[in-house]
Homo-oligomer: A and B are copies of this chain.
């Protein structure tokens, strides 16, 4: 059976070109997906080589990236590419959405147009981040709920555990609580309450506290905190990677021998740079919805969209949301 992916072609920094090229790469890479690009048909056609598994649906207007009132933005732009793509999942025309539009608008739109799964009281946004060992970890909640109750963090950890198992192929994924120290008892009241709940939940493989000193070599595959903290962690990783890139460029070009060394290292340095680029950070799934919604980085190039589309199809194929529902239903009964 074909998996149908809706792609919001108008969000992000390079729309719609990179979305279109990403869609073309994705249909070439996997056979069982069909893509509908939502956006300006004229602009899309400039980049699209016709393909029998890529369709285009015309939209009107866009959601401004700097929109201050995301709920209003969605409500007053029902014909925008983002809103139409989301609605097509609600109506079951499509199985999943990929968008690189404004995060808060996408979360608000997903709530309104896709709907929340009944077992999860709060959504979460969960990017998959690279580690220094060439593996991955799930960071959540990277910004859906700035403040949160620990019981909702437990639900999110269940979701992430299913995701890590089904999509990342990690058996018994460990959950680590982001904290300022590794010992039990560290942190704010929220962190201590969450620690207790994780520790006492027999269906969560709880590792304990994880200091962000270990953020690129984490002892757990899932790192969790409130939406403010995890977003700060994500952006600090990004900022440090960028700043270190600048420093490396400055230092590597010093001296004649150094310049020669730099020349010979260009290929290796490029690979190094790619490991922490936005492309290497996978699409972030919004947890807690009735449908599959993946947020691609705003700066994504075609490879980023290709990956996000494949990711979305994997989540549909593995039936992740239903499996999470089953886990949470069992929790409720217990």
Contacts and interface: CB of A to CB of B under 8 A. Distances in A.
A252 B272 contact: yes
Contacts of A243: 131-132, 215-217
Interface string A230-249: 01110111111111101110
A248 B328 CA distance: 41
A254 B267 CA distance: 9
Which of A266, A268, A272 has the largest number of chain B CB atoms within 10 A? Answer: A268
Interface residues of A, number: 61
A66 interface: yes
A242 B216 contact: yes
A212 interface: yes
Interface string A58-94: 0000000010100000000000000000000000000
A180 B216 contact: no
Contact of A212 (B232, B248, B268, B269): B232
Contact of A271 (B187, B217, B239, B254): B254
A239 B264 contact: no
Given A239-B216, A272-B252, A265 B267 contact: no
| Count of identical protomers in the assembly | 2
A257 B143 CA distance: 43
Contacts of A254: 267-268, 271
A178 B236 CA distance: 10
A146 interface: yes
B268 A232 contact: no
Interface string A118-150: 000000000000011100000000010011000
Contacts of A244: 132, 216, 240-241, 244, 276
A188 interface: yes
A167 interface: no
A34 B276 CA distance: 47
B252 A240 contact: no
A228 interface: yes
Contacts of A263: 261
B240 A269 contact: no
Contacts of A57: none
A151 interface: no
25 contacts: A68-B183, A68-B185, A178-B232, A180-B235, A211-B235, A213-B239, A215-B236, A215-B240, A216-B243, A228-B229, A229-B229, A237-B240, A248-B248, A251-B269, A251-B275, A253-B268, A258-B264, A258-B265, A258-B267, A260-B261, A261-B261, A261-B265, A261-B268, A262-B268, A264-B264
